[in-house]
Amino acid sequence: MSTALVILAAGKGTRMNSDIPKVLHPIAQVPMLVHAMRAGSVLAPERTAIVTGHGAEAVAKVAQAEDEDARIVVQDQQLGTAHAVAQARAALDGFTGDVVVLYGDTPFLQPDTLERMIAARADNDLVILGFEAADPARYGRLVMNGDALERIVEFKDASDEERAITFCNSGLLACDAGTLFDLIDAVGNDNASGEYYLTDVVEIARDRGLKVTAVSCDEAQTLGVNSRADLAAADAVFQARARAELLDLGVTLMAPETVYLAADTVIGRDTVIEPNVVFGPGVTVESGAAIRAFSHLEGCHVSRGAVVGPYARLRPGAELAENTRIGNFVEIKNAEIAEGAKVNHLSYIGDASVGAGTNIGAGTITCNYDGVMKHRTVIGENVFVGSNTMLVAPVTVGSGAMTATGTIVTRDIEPDALAVGRAKQENKPGYARKLFEMLKAKKARRDKGA
């Protein structure tokens, strides 16, 4: 049976107090909507419809960057969840399989939960996703009779006996496309809010003699985000889960609670991560590397045996080969550092390639930007770059070459050559004493005048 996704992403999220659509706020540096789309992708959906509203253009851009085939529909007026799903009818025209309704602000749904919902569809016309709530609070209660879901009762309408139920409604469901839209057509808005609620389809389905059930999942999977506090809590949930997975995979986290991970961070076993390391998007660290304290990595690849930090920054395009060393207060951007090369202190290497076995001295800078365009620096193998060398790109340093401390390199250096490019030093006897006396006298006159 083929499957389609309808992801509701129209809400403004007033409690977020933001100009950004709610579903585009990030968890682990990925928009919530993308988390929901990736969760649904386990079903290999034939179609995906994203129901947008507030900030529709921005939401559509993110959705189609994740899935270029995603169909975007707009809910011009937010008239309830059933009304939102109804907007996807045209996008699913001709589709005859199962529709799974997800929410763009519910980012933690697990693949096995969706698979169990689809499996339950084999014996049921409508499947609702529920959860056992630690604090049911004002959630809608799922009233079960064995495996059959009899009704959903909102807290305000529930009896004392029904309020004691802890099995609660998540709002997610699975249903045959034709049946779903038939049920939605029968949903009314005779309620205090004047909205069309998706939960009403359960009662309508039961009245029509259809089989309805509920599948259960962990409460954490249904965690919704409606405020900045919810966003912070959701990110904390993701981080705790991701850290635990890394520990299980054989990664050493010396202070797990201080390590921040992105949704796509990949770290090989026997890697050691010291405290206060931040991983931005697009980072892969191979087995046996070491990322030392207070380092920040994004868009980079770190090979086996490499050591990064402490206090290092790897920016997009940084490619570290095996057994490289990137030390304290070093920044690497769009540069390849070949096997065994070292950039140990206080240096910036950008738009460059550094050959195997090369040593970059402290204070070295590749001057890659002329104010308009970026230029590349190429450094060969086994080069010794002296401290405080400025490499003015575009420039090439041949293998086996050396630069003297304080050299400004503006021309290519041939292999095995020594480059010295600094002003001639002059010593002026007694000038320091005379200068200090002059400055002290000037200060004394200024202080007296004050």
Burial of 411 per CB tally in 10 Å (0-12, 13-18, 19+): exposed
- Cis-peptide, bond into residue 31, ω within 30° of zero: no
Q: How far is it, in rounded angstroms, from Cα 130 to Cα 169?
A: 5
Is 375 marked active-site?
Answer: no
Q: Contact at 8 Å (CB) between 362 and 346? A: yes
Rg (CA), the chain: 31
The gap between the terminal CA atoms of the chain, to the nearest Å, is 88
Q: 49 is written with which tokens?
A: 């419809």
Residue type, 148: A
Q: How far is it, in rounded angstroms, from Cα 415 to Cα 17?
A: 60
Q: How far is it, in rounded angstroms, from Cα 53 to Cα 88?
A: 13
Q: Contact at 8 Å (CB) between 95 and 47? A: yes
Cross-strand partners of 354:
337, 379
Q: How far is it, in rounded angstroms, from Cα 296 to Cα 261?
A: 11
Burial of 74 per CB tally in 10 Å (0-12, 13-18, 19+): middle
Strands 148-153 and 284-285: unpaired
Q: Which one is catalytic: 35, 296, 301, 345?
A: 345
Angle at 373 between CA 346 and CA 423, to 5 degrees: 50
CA distances to 142, 148, 396, 398 from 125, in Å: 17, 11, 69, 72
Q: Contact at 8 Å (CB) between 6 and 88? A: yes
- E-strand stretches of 321-443: 325-328, 331-337, 342-345, 348-354, 359-360, 365-367, 377-379, 384-385, 390-392, 395-397, 402-403, 408-409, 418-419
Q: How far is it, in rounded angstroms, from Cα 47 to Cα 157?
A: 37
Indicate the length of the chain as a whole number.
450
CA distances to 72, 146, 374 from 199, in Å: 23, 20, 56
Residues with a known catalytic role: 345
